[in-house]
Structure 1
Amino acid sequence: MTAFSIPGFDLDAFVTATLAEDLGEGLPGGGHDVTSESVIPADARFSGTMDSRDAITVAGLPVAAAFFRRLDPAMEIVLLVEDGTQVAPGTDVMRLSGNARAMLTAERAALNTVQHLSGIATLVRRYVDAMGETRAKLLDTRKTIPGLRFLEKYAVRMGGGHNHRMGLWDAAMIKDNHVAVAGGVTQAVRRALDAGVKAVICEVDRIDQIAPALDAGATRLLFDNMEPDMLRKAVALVAGRVPTEASGGINLDTIAAKAATGVDYVSVGRLTQSAPAADIGLDFTPL
């Protein structure tokens, strides 16, 4: 297995579950690759080359390699670029050789993973570039595919972005529904702090909510769906007392103006929610 590691992510379990799903383990007639087993001799060997068909930012190659090595531990695999590298169309990113059946069985799981993660990294890089010269950092959100959060947030980092909170456990995010039930911004923030929560992010969508949130002890303010002029006013009112974040209504056309308002962070849900898969291919040659 590879030394690739992401805190909180179990690579072995992910590979096991993904291959089991594709092979239909536990289902009637399942548990094997009927096409490869019926067509390809057991001792046949292939060499393979994975390459990018477009200009992309690469992410997920070590995960892809883990699928192949699971089915053929002796497979020879060379990663030709590191995750996070921007490559031109036609760039070879991985070479491998080994058991042909193992390669064919692992191919789709490996490609699905690296295409998805590279798609996220590529989109993130476009957003980072679109921000221009600014001190603001690009953040992802919790809008991730269930079960893939750690991988998707890893891909965000490979694209040059940064991670927001990882889940519901590592920071309080007080939004409009929390405020409505608690009876106001002040009450919501104080309840979180009284419960011992250290990081309390409070969403505000009006200027008059800023002072109550700060006075109550919020450790970060998220400005929701504010236009640049209002964002500048909000940042001026905070005056550096806590980090600030712009969120909502942000796309490649609007991010530069919002990042230039002085906010510390800009968060974009579509980085993980809507990134198209990267066009990456894998061609095999019999040995």
Structure 2
Amino acid sequence: MDQNDITAVPEFILMGLTDLPELQVLHFLVFLAVYPISLLLNLGLTVLIKIDSRLHTLMYFFLGYLSAFYLSYFSAIALKMLAVFFLEVRTISLIECTIQIYHFVACVTIEGYLLVVMAYDCFTAICNPLVYTVVMSPRVCTQLILCSYLIGFLQGLIQVLLIFHLPFCKLNIINHFFCDLSPILKLLCSNTFPSEVLLFSLGLFNGTVTSLEIVVSYVYILITTLKIRSATGRCKAFSTCVSHLTVVGSLYGTTIFIYIRPSSQYTPENDKVVFMFYTPVMLMLNPLISSLRKKDVKDAL
């Protein structure tokens, strides 16, 4: 490509979800209603787990970290989404876009590994209850949390470096309401195939490792649960795992639909709708799914 078509892009323009003004107002109102509720639920659950001694167990220890993580995850893109939907502030600087992609990739990766840690916790509690306190000691749990965050931060850094070391064309319009990998790659002028292969390989590796660990854990949990003679015991074991599996399904279902599919089937409109559903709605429902149906949390409230 001619050098005149390549430039150091100072900022990008976000197209948003739709160009129809009436729909923009509707999206803003829905999102504005969902965001405070999500903020309240996740923050309230985090504080409740911290202050109530009845919830000082490993299961709620991990749920507290997951809720605190969701606050950061949602806020990484929520405020910009509100600005795009209603205030028509569609520009985002190159630095802001880089930080947003880094934060988003790191958060998705951290969520996957935190869910693995929670699956391992369920596996140990149900399949090896006699050694549970030894295997899942406070030191081990802290190390697992730190490893999840470290892997997420490294994943975000690698993906940002793979993308932003390449030159951008003069076109700087992002067909999305926040900086995401797929629309950003379409703005690059040089050959992006090596970077796309590396990005796909990293995502596939993390997705395969985390999903296999979760599947193996729950296969053992299912086998052990079916051996329980008491119907009450089986119901208790299943109820412990169902909420976690629901959160796992929402994460991996969204990720597979958006990222692990042929490029010929890529449509920005579908991706925006999926993100619009997953980001605000699922992050609001996750505290309800994960914990607010549990008796311990109801008693603490």
TM range (shorter): under 0.3
Q: Compare CA radii of gyration and give the structure with the larger one.
A: 1
More helix by share: 2
The two structures have a TM-score, normalised by structure 2, of 0.25
The two structures have a TM-score, normalised by structure 1, of 0.25
Q: Indicate the structure whose relative CO is greater, using CA pairs within 8 Å and at least 6 residues apart.
A: 2
